[in-house]
């Protein structure tokens, strides 16, 4: 939800890197933003750490917090998607879209993938291995 969350996990990863003999700073992070608070702070989160390689929208929790439901069109996600994309671009990192939960709806998955590509996303989170070949 906040840049501090990223800094806290960064500190823990640094401790683990040192304990394992890994080069400090060699582990990248991908932050999932899953709440309205996180969306409003997406720019701060995206700029929080040099380790961040990208940020991703976690829509299931986000939509639940909005007190709405996922729709086939994804209208309820447009603001969040644009916020994630804007924040990622301002920080020079990648933007990843949320999962498409209906693993049996290939046409819907492909339609959503085309939509997020048109918006400018770098990739899409996947929930089912069958979705890999579709992309």
Q: What is the CATH number of domain 3-134?
A: 3.20.20.60
40-44, 68-72, 119-123: segment of lowest average pLDDT? 68-72
How high is the pLDDT of residue 128? Answer: 87
Partner residues linked to 52 by β-bridges: 29
Residue-wise pLDDT tens digits, 70-99: 998 899 999 999 999 999 999 999 999 999
Work out the mean pLDDT of the chain and round it to a whole number.
96
For the chain, what are the domain ranges? Answer: 3-134
């Amino acid at each position: 939800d906040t840049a501090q969350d990223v800094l806290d996990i960064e500190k823990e990863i640094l401790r683990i890197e040192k304990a394992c003999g890994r080069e400090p700073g060699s582990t990248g992070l991908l932050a999932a933003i899953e709440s309205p608070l996180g969306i409003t702070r997406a720019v701060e989160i995206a700029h929080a750490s040099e380790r961040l390689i990208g940020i991703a929208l976690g829509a299931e929790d986000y939509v639940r917090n909005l007190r709405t439901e996922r729709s086939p069109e994804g209208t309820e996600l447009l603001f969040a998607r644009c916020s994630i994309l804007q924040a990622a671009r301002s920080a020079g990192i990648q933007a990843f879209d949320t999962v498409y939960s209906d693993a049996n709806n290939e046409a819907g998955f492909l339609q959503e993938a085309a939509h997020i590509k048109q918006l400018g996303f770098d990739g899409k989170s996947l929930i089912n291995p069958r979705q890999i070949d579709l992309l």
